[in-house]
Amino acid sequence: MLLPGAQRLRGILLRSCGSLGSPGRPRSICGREGEEKLPLSAETRWKDRAETVIIGGGCVGVSLAYHLAKAGMKDVVLLEKSELTAGSTWHAAGLTTYFHPGINLKKIHYDSIKLYEKLEEETGQVVGFHQPGSIRLATTPVRVDEFKYQMTRTGWHATEQYIIEPEKIQEMFPLLNMNKVLAGLYNPGDGHIDPYSLTMALAAGARKYGALLKYPAPVTSLKPRSDGTWDVETPQGSVRANRIVNAAGFWAREVGKMIGLEHPLIPVQHQYVVTSTIPEVKALKRELPVLRDLEGSFYLRQERDGLLFGPYESQEKMKAQDSWVTNGVPPELDPNRYGKWTTTQYTEAKARESYGFNNIVGYPKEERFAGRPTQRVSGLYQSLESKCSMGFHAGWEQPHWFYKPGQDTQYRPSFRRTNWFEPVGSEYKQVMQRVGVIDLTPFGKFNIKGRDSIRLLDHLFANIIPKVGFTNISHMLTPKGRVYAELTVSHQSPGEFLLITGSGSELHDLRWIEEEAVKGGYDVEIKNITDELGVLGVAGPRARKVLQKLTSEDLSEDVFKFLQTKSLKISNIPVTAIRISYTGELGWELYHRREDSVALYDMIMNAGQEEGIDNFGTYAMNALRLEKAFRAWGSEMNCDTNPLEAGLEYFVKLNKPADFIGKQALKQIKAKGLKRRLVCLTLATDDVDPEGNESIWYNGKVVGNTTSGSYSYSIQKSLAFAYVPIELSEVGQQVEVELLGKNYPAVIIQEPLVLTEPTRNRLQKKGGKDKT
């Protein structure tokens, strides 16, 4: 924190935080442009009931109050312990950018900047928003590749983004030393905003739309009630709320502890330096773009007639506020995607890593290793860790690919094919020609039973409820008819179900199910058994032969059919066996007690020696599922897509009696007709394969995007799913896919590329032939 008066810090002249910027010049972070028009004591009202209570009056909490109230939610109450922006908001550097390597956050960045551009007009509050653009510097060839990779993912977004040459960089930022600069990634419209003024404008908007912002009103306790509501207590009185949002920033851990939650949050120290007037800056005719030196790991922008720059130190040098973690945040101080595995030790390690890695190259299939492993390891972790490259999935360690003696075992991320390419090809052949075993323990697993279990699931899912002893693929939809989740539903005994979802969707799906159960008053018991059960997948043409050696249960085609589920014993180990496999080949998923995993695995591996059994990982499974045209939630379908455009019609029963969530909206979508459709396409590349979110080109224009992709080891070409306009969705249609700055010819094919094992069997019985 800078004290008033000019100072010297390592030879840099620092100015006082005094007067505001002059007209036409960048604003000052020290002077505030948008002082709140209402006095602090203006809020004299109090509400005893609220739809939503937001705890925390920083930029995030106030923004949420604004958005909820503007969207029409009644009775939004924000409670702030002292005054608005009293935490980390008031001294933030205020950088704004359209850029983000992730697709979802890129959309949020876009919406945020568009909001800032019109917020002053909407609320009458000055926000201090400057948009000189920003440039990310590439000083290494691999960084140039990263820029090309990001460009392939931005063409189908509304955001402007360009790769620019060194000459253009010099023109836009004439003060820059151009040694080693190879290229820049330029985002017009990027810039910086005064966080204090922004928060005050959002506060004005929140009040305008009916929200109550109350401060000072520190929350002293949170008490859950049997009907699902909460009593929020403050010195000002108590509020009964339908839901609570913890937006307390520094104090979020303390708020969480009020209800026994340990939030995975670590305060990290970050500093920036503001210079006094620099003559060369003062002489400029226009504001400099924000500069990000990625190898140097710092940002720099113009601040009035000087410069502001902030470094991101390496994880060894950066400093976490450890005392706040152990002793709590000092109170006399003015200015659920996570589970129980996020311990304080893990969170601190991750905070250091994330801060230190702020500007590292962002590769596809990136892994970060700090804080690993967590307590979420399957029983096989010790047996497999020396044989494979592990990936991190919602706290779990899961094999991505396996290596053999003499192969390169290192983690070598790349934008091109790297050291896992050949081993994954071997695993692919293992499953297609023999039999493979995969650890699927990270799956999210829920047990649902009770008098109303069938009625609840019929309300939640667009598919019919499977009969006892059977499994199906079912989707939960949003009220707008979008795909909220995909799960496998197994009817184990009358009224008792086992629900399985992807590892990253565990809490996402469980929350939805629990909320609907409470909202509808269903008499059910819902239990999260994810950490209790291990899962092994056994797949390949010889899978039946291997497992039959270990059980007296008849596993023959006619007795244990596709999508059946049975309780049986593998040797002496009880398992729930489901005949299903994400590989599309003959296979079973074996659910068992987690403590039995090693014994079960060893038995299967020993029994399969004659059949040539071996391990395979998630990279090979992804290649296999793409060839079978199996969709993946989060890629081909999500809360932005409807099941009809995603090609999920088979799993959606619009004619079933139950009025499932999203049914009416989906009927309207179907009546209006689709504008785009998911297709499968192949493309011949060199040493690069699609990953997902690359731009699709046709006649010189971006017309769609890939959702996921891989190399097809069967046809030795790249394979991808993509969304394209209806008029370009016919089989045989030619398009182009952008990969690392180059457009590759692609053609839409009839899916699937490879028929599933059950389909091949059915065709063989009818005298048909295999399709490859």
Tokens, residue 626: 């793409």
- Among 579, 577, 581, 558, smallest CA distance to 569 is for 577
pLDDT > 60? residue 28:
no
Tokens, residue 597: 């995993």
Residue in the block written with tokens 């023959």: 556
Classify residue 44 by burial, with Cβ atoms within 10 Å: 0-12, 13-18, 19+.
exposed
| 133 and 723 Cβ atoms separated by less than 8 Å | no
Q: Which of 247-251, 440-444, 576-580, 722-726 has the lowest mean pLDDT?
A: 247-251
Coil/strand/helix, residue 134: strand
| 87 and 267 Cβ atoms separated by less than 8 Å | no
Summarize pLDDT for 689-727 with one digit per residue, the tens.
999 999 999 999 999 999 999 999 999 999 999 999 999
Q: How far apart are CA 385 and CA 402, in angstroms?
A: 9
C-alpha triplet 545, 548, 553: angle, nearest 5°: 145
Q: How far apart are CA 507 and CA 503, in angstroms?
A: 9
pLDDT > 50? residue 15:
no
Tokens, residue 390: 């592990």
Summarize pLDDT for 452-481 with one digit per residue, the tens.
999 999 999 999 999 999 999 999 999 999
C-alpha triplet 127, 129, 130: angle, nearest 5°: 160
Interstrand relation of 444-449 and 471-477 (parallel, antiparallel or unpaired): unpaired
pLDDT > 70? residue 29:
no
Q: How far apart are CA 289 and CA 275, in angstroms?
A: 17
Tokens, residue 27: 């604003």
Q: How far apart are CA 673 and CA 764, in angstroms?
A: 36
- Among 392, 440, 487, smallest CA distance to 594 is for 440
Percent of the chain whose predicted confidence (pLDDT) is above 90: 76
- Among 241, 246, 267, 268, smallest CA distance to 257 is for 246
Residue in the block written with tokens 């934008």: 415
Tokens, residue 620: 């090979």
C-alpha triplet 360, 250, 54: angle, nearest 5°: 110
Mean of pLDDT values over 223-239:
92
Interstrand relation of 76-79 and 212-214 (parallel, antiparallel or unpaired): parallel
pLDDT > 70? residue 333:
no
Mean of pLDDT values over 270-278:
85
Coil/strand/helix, residue 113: helix
720-748 burial code (b ≥16 CB/10 A, e <16): bbbbbeeebbeeebebbbbbbeebbebeb
Classify residue 25 by burial, with Cβ atoms within 10 Å: 0-12, 13-18, 19+.
middle
Q: Place 651 in a pLDDT band, splitting at 50, 70 and 90.
A: very high
The radius of gyration of the chain's CA atoms, rounded to the nearest angstrom, is 28
pLDDT > 70? residue 257:
yes
Report which secondary-structure segment, H or E, holds 61. helix 59-70
Summarize pLDDT for 616-649 with one digit per residue, the tens.
999 999 999 999 999 999 999 999 999 999 999 9
Backbone angles phi, psi at 330, to 5 degrees: -55, 135
89 versus 20: the higher-pLDDT residue is: 89
Summarize pLDDT for 283-317 with one digit per residue, the tens.
999 999 999 999 988 889 998 999 988 888 777 76
Q: Place 354 in a pLDDT band, splitting at 50, 70 and 90.
A: confident
Residue 349 has a pLDDT of: 87
571 versus 356: the higher-pLDDT residue is: 571
Report which secondary-structure segment, H or E, holds 105. helix 103-123
Say which CATH topology domain 95-193+270-311 has.
D-Amino Acid Oxidase; Chain A, domain 2 (3.30.9)
pLDDT > 50? residue 22:
no
The CATH classification number of 376-404+416-443+530-630 equals: 3.30.1360.120
Coil/strand/helix, residue 595: helix
Backbone angles phi, psi at 232, to 5 degrees: -105, 115
Mean pLDDT computed over every residue of the chain: 89
| 122 and 67 Cβ atoms separated by less than 8 Å | no
Residue 266 has a pLDDT of: 74
pLDDT > 60? residue 27:
no
Residue in the block written with tokens 């996921």: 708
732 versus 356: the higher-pLDDT residue is: 732
Q: Place 483 in a pLDDT band, splitting at 50, 70 and 90.
A: very high
Q: How far apart are CA 446 and CA 327, in angstroms?
A: 36
155 versus 496: the higher-pLDDT residue is: 496
Summarize pLDDT for 532-544 with one digit per residue, the tens.
999 999 999 999 9
Residue 355 has a pLDDT of: 79
- Among 245, 249, 241, smallest CA distance to 224 is for 241
Q: Place 10 in a pLDDT band, splitting at 50, 70 and 90.
A: very low
pLDDT > 60? residue 39:
no
pLDDT > 80? residue 674:
yes
Residue 357 has a pLDDT of: 87
Residue 343 has a pLDDT of: 82
Question: For domain 444-528, which architecture applies?
Answer: 2-Layer Sandwich (3.30)
pLDDT > 60? residue 500:
yes
Coil/strand/helix, residue 733: coil
Distances from the Cα of 772 to the Cα of 490, 543, 624, 713, angstroms? 31, 21, 12, 11
- Among 266, 262, 252, 257, smallest CA distance to 348 is for 266
Superfamily for the 49-91+195-258 domain: FAD/NAD(P)-binding domain (3.50.50.60)
Q: Place 142 in a pLDDT band, splitting at 50, 70 and 90.
A: very high
Residue 24 has a pLDDT of: 34
Residue 484 has a pLDDT of: 97
Running DSSP on this structure, what letter comes out for residue 360?
S
Running DSSP on this structure, what letter comes out for residue 571?
T
Percent of the chain whose predicted confidence (pLDDT) is above 70: 91
Q: Place 270 in a pLDDT band, splitting at 50, 70 and 90.
A: confident
270 versus 129: the higher-pLDDT residue is: 129
Backbone angles phi, psi at 737, to 5 degrees: -115, 130
Tally of CB atoms within 10 A around 662:
24
Q: Place 322 in a pLDDT band, splitting at 50, 70 and 90.
A: low
The CATH classification number of 675-771 equals: 2.40.30.110
**Structural domain boundaries in the chain:** 49-91+195-258, 95-193+270-311, 312-371, 376-404+416-443+530-630, 444-528, 675-771
In DSSP terms, 267 is beta-bridged to none
Tokens, residue 312: 């991101």
Q: How far apart are CA 576 and CA 502, in angstroms?
A: 18
| 596 and 589 Cβ atoms separated by less than 8 Å | no
| 435 and 541 Cβ atoms separated by less than 8 Å | yes
Residue 151 has a pLDDT of: 92
Q: Which of 23-27, 224-228, 281-285, 294-298 has the lowest mean pLDDT?
A: 23-27
| 387 and 367 Cβ atoms separated by less than 8 Å | no
273 versus 170: the higher-pLDDT residue is: 170
